[in-house]
């Protein structure tokens, strides 16, 4: 009976010990995303916010340009004319690293990189 217990102990030790076979370490998980706004979740949020601001500002500016055109019979010569003729109280700021681009021939406002 002692031999039987010894064999069971040996089988258990081999099973737990891996039979002397070297095990490869598990694949490492990807590094945690940092709170750096240039990447990861927070970076995506910042880019999403910039995109939303850009879309809202251009939509409101283009709407003011179209209203100006309907009432004045022409497109404004520049965006400042929307303020001087009181179609807007002030021009919105472009997102960081961007600028407002106005095409007076088509009456279209876009936001482009500086």
Q: What's the rounded Cα separation, in Å, for the pair 112 and 114?
A: 6
Q: Please check whether residue 39 lies inside any domain of the structure.
A: no
Residue 104's pLDDT is 96
Number of domains present in the structure of the chain: 1
Contact assessment for residue 78 and residue 104, using Cβ atoms and an 8 Å cutoff:
yes
Convert the pLDDT of each residue in 55-112 to its tens digit.
667 899 999 999 999 999 999 999 999 999 999 999 988 888 889 999 999 999 998 8
Residue 25's pLDDT is 56
- Angstrom CA distances, 58 to 17, 81, 102, stand at 66, 16, 10
Return the half-sphere exposure (C-beta side, CA atoms, 13 A cut-off) of residue 70: 7
Q: Please check whether residue 2 lies inside any domain of the structure.
A: no
Q: 0.85 cut: is pTM over it?
A: no
Convert the pLDDT of each residue in 38-59 to its tens digit.
568 887 777 776 676 666 678 9
Q: Please check whether residue 1 lies inside any domain of the structure.
A: no
Provide the pLDDT confidence category of residue 26 given band limits of 50, 70 and 90: low
**Position of tokens 């009456």?**
107
Range of the domain at 77: 49-114
Q: Please check whether residue 6 lies inside any domain of the structure.
A: no
């Amino acid at each position: 009976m002692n031999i039987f217990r010894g064999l069971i102990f040996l089988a258990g030790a081999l099973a737990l010990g891996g039979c002397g076979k070297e095990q490869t370490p598990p694949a490492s998980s990807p590094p945690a995303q940092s709170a750096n706004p240039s990447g990861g979740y927070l970076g995506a949020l910042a880019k999403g916010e910039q995109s939303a601001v850009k879309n809202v500002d251009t939509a409101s500016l283009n709407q003011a340009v179209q209203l100006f055109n309907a009432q004045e019979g022409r497109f404004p010569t520049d965006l400042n004319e929307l303020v001087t003729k009181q179609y807007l109280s002030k021009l919105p700021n472009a997102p960081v690293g961007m600028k407002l681009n106005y095409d007076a021939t088509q009456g279209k406002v876009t936001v482009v990189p500086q």
